[in-house]
Amino acid sequence: MTVLPADGLSLAAEFPDPSHDQWQSLVEGVLRRSGKEVTGTAAEEALSTALEDGLTARPLYTSADASADPGLPGFAPFTRGSTATGSTTGGWDVRQRHALADPVRLNEAVLGDLENGVTSLWLSVGGPGGVPVSGLGRALEGVHLDLAPVALDAGADPGPAVRALLGLYETRGIAKEAVRGSLGVDPLGQAARTGAEPELGPAAHWARLCSREYPGLRSLTVDALPYHDAGGSAAEELGLSLATGVAYLRELTTSGLSVQEACAQLEFRYAATADQFLTIAKLRAARRLWARVAEVCGAPGAGAQRQHAVTSSVMMTRRDPWVNMLRTTLACLGAGVGGAESVTVLPFDHALGLPDAFARRIARNTSTILMEESHLARVIDPAGGSWYVERLTDELAAAAWSFFQEVERAGGQAAALHSGMVRERLAATWAARSKDLARRKEPVTGVSEFPALDERPVEREAVPAAPSGSGLPEVRRDEAFETLRARSDAHLAATGSRPKVFIAALGPASVHTGRASFAANLFLSGGIEPVHEPASVDASTAAAAFTASGATIACMCSTESLYGEQAEAVASALRAAGAEQVFLAGRPGEYTGADVHVFAGCDVVAVLSSELDRMGVA
C-alpha cells in the first residue's frame, strides 16, 4: 500500500515543463507528414484561423498572451461583469420574444411562458405582426406586471405603446418604483431598419420621465441587431452600438440629464451566435468599451452596461431547422458566460414564421438547462483568465474602437447612416463572408453540409411582411443555398422528379468513398439528387449504369492515380451515353476528360447555379 505524503500529491511534479519551441517542433513534424514543409512561426501560422475584423485565432495561447488586468466584477472597466455578484443570484433574465397580432392568442402564449420558466416579456406592439396598442391590456391580462418585466418593441412611433403600458401600470396600482423593464425607444435603430430620418427629441422626453418617476425602468434601447442582421461583423456591431449610445448620451445630457442619469436609461442589445467564444468576447469587450465612454464623459462609475443578448437570426436556417436548437444552445451558452443580464433564445422555427408552442418551450428551456443543470450561472465570468478569451476580448475591443472612431469622424451615427457609410461597410463585410459560405469554408449544417433532400418541410404560419424602405437589408447564412434548393423544389413540383447526377466511382470503395461522399454532399446542397448505383464503374460499364440512373450529368470520383488511368475513357463512355456534363471530384491535374472540377474550396454556389441554369431548372 502506497502512503501519500502529508502535503498531498502533485500530479505534474514528475513531468518537465515543455517549451514553446518544443511544441512548435512537434507541429512541424505533423505538418511535414501532411506534405507541408514549414518551420518556426510559419508552422504555427499554418494552423491559425482567420476571423473577421482582421483577427486571428491561433492554435496555442500561453501566459505571454495575458492581457492587462481586466479588473473585478462590478467595477470599472466592467469587463468581468456589470455587477459584483454576476449571475450567482439566480442567473440571467429569460426574456421571451412575442410577435402576435391577436391579443387573445398572445395572452395564452405569454401566460404559458411565464408559468414555465420565462422571467420577462419582449413584446412587439403596434408594428407589423405586433399586437395592436388597443389590445395590449387584453394581451397582458392575468400577468403580474410587478413581477414580470416588459420590454417593448414599438417600432418607429413608440409613443402610443409606451403610454398604453404606463397606463396599465397605473390602472393596476403598481408603484412606480416597482416597475421594471424597458420601453425600447430606439430612433437610430429604427432609422437603420427603415431608412427614415431619426427624431431624438421624443427619446429624450421618455428618458426624462423614467429618470424622474420610474427608477427601475429603462427608456432607451441601443439595438445593435440591425447591423448584425445586415451582415456586420462583431467589431462593426460593437462600434455602431457605441456610436448610437454616444448619440443618445449627447441628446439626453443636452435635455437636462446628467451623464449618470443618461447612462442609467440605456440598455444595449447584441446578437449571440453559435461561435460561443466570439460571443463571450463580444459581450466582455462591449462592457469594457462602454466603460471607456463613460470615463471620457467624466462618469467612470456609470459605465456598467446592461446587456440583452438575442440569439442570431442570421444563423437560423429554413432547411433542417432542428439544427437551430443546437445553434441557439451554443449562442445562449456564450451569452450567459459572457455576462448578459437578459437572454432571448429565438425558437428553432423562427426563420419559417410564427413559432409554435413546442418551439417556444425548447427556447425557454435552453436557458433553464444551462442555468439549472449545467450551473453556468453559479460562476462570475467563467471565461475570465482564459488566455484565448482575454486576448480575443482585447483584440475585438481594439477593432471595434477603431471603427467607432471612423463613425464619429463621419459625423456620428445618424450622419453615417444617412450618408450610406454604414450600409457600404456592412455590405462589403457580408460580401466577403458570402464568398466563404459559397465555398463552404463556413459550413452550414443541414444546408451546405449534410443536406437531406427527402426532408419534409416544416410549415408555420407566415409572419406579416415588414414595410419596405431604404433601410439596411436582413441577410441569412443559408440564403444562397436556399435559392438553389427552392429551384430544385419547383422542378420537383413541376416534373415529379429532381435533377440528378450520376456518381461514377472508379476503383474499389476503399479508394473512392471519400470523394464520392464529398461529391454527393456537394450536389445535394444544390438540390441535385446523386445516384450512386452501382458502387463502382469502369469504361466498359459506365454507359449502361449512367443510362439506368436517369441522370443527365455525371461526376467521376476516385484517386489521382486512377483518374490518370481511367478518367478519359470513362468520360468518353459517359458522353456517348448522353451525359451533357462530366464533373470530376478533385482539383485540375494532368488527367483529362472532365468538363468541370469540384473540390474543397471551390465556389459551390456558382458551380451549382450554373449547372441548374444549363439543365433548365427554373
Summarize the confidence of residues 83-97 as an average pLDDT: 79
CA dist 342 → 120, 416, 435, 480 (Å) = 9, 29, 34, 32
Q: What pLDDT was estimated at residue 35?
A: 79
**Joined grid coordinates for residue 398:** 481594439
pTM of the model: 0.94
pLDDT tens digit string along 487-507? 999 999 999 999 999 999 999
Q: What pLDDT shows up at residue 2?
A: 54
pLDDT of 213 above 90: yes
Decide: 542 and 573 in contact? Cβ < 8 Å. Answer: yes
**What's the maximum distance between 2 C-alpha atoms anywhere in the chain?**
87
pLDDT at position 4 is 54
pLDDT confidence of residue 10? 63
List pLDDT tens digits, range 232-253.
Answer: 999 999 999 999 999 999 999 9
Number of Cβ atoms within 10 Å of the Cβ of 202:
14
Angle at 501 between CA 498 and CA 502, to 5 degrees: 130
Q: Average model confidence (pLDDT) for the chain? A: 93
Taking only the tens place, the pLDDT of each residue in 535-564 is 999 999 999 999 999 999 999 999 999 999
pLDDT for 9 beyond 70: no
Using the structure block, give the residue that is written with the C-alpha cell 501566459: 63
Q: How far is CA 13 from CA 16, 17, 143, 382, in A?
A: 8, 10, 60, 27
- Using the predicted structure, report yes or no on whether residue 196 has a pLDDT greater than 80: yes
pLDDT at 6: 56
Distance CA 198, CA 189 (A): 9
For 486, the 3-state DSSP assignment is: helix
The pLDDT confidence band at residue 589, using thresholds 50, 70 and 90, is confident
Q: What is the pLDDT of residues 26-36, one digit of tens each?
A: 888 888 888 78
CA dihedral (160, 166, 172, 178) in degrees, to 10, reads 160
Give the tens place of pLDDT for each residue, 416-425: 999 999 999 9
* DSSP letter, residue 137: H
The rounded distance, in Å, linking the Cα atoms of 385 and 380 is: 12
Tell whether the model's pLDDT for residue 265 goes beyond 60.
yes
For the segment 296-312, what is each residue's pLDDT rounded down to a tens digit? Answer: 999 998 999 999 999 99
Q: How far apart are CA 544 and CA 516, in angstroms?
A: 19
571-583 as b/e: b if 16+ CB within 10 A: bbbbbebebebbb
Report the alpha-carbon distance of residue 437 to residue 433 in Å, rounded: 6
- The whole-angstrom separation of Cα 76 and Cα 291 is 6
442 vs 105, 262, 317, 436, 573, CA distance in Å? 39, 41, 14, 6, 36
Q: What is the pLDDT of residue 88?
A: 42
> Grid coordinates representing 330?
451554443
Does 464 have pLDDT greater than 90?
Answer: no
d(CA 161, CA 153) in angstroms, rounded, equals: 9
Measured between alpha carbons, how far is 305 from 299 in angstroms, rounded to an integer?
A: 13
pLDDT score of 512 more than 90: yes
Position 13 pLDDT exceeds 80: no
Query: Residue 144 to residues 6, 237, 587: CA-CA distances in angstroms?
Result: 58, 35, 64
Task: For 376-390, give the DSSP string.
Answer: GGGSSSTTTT-HHHH
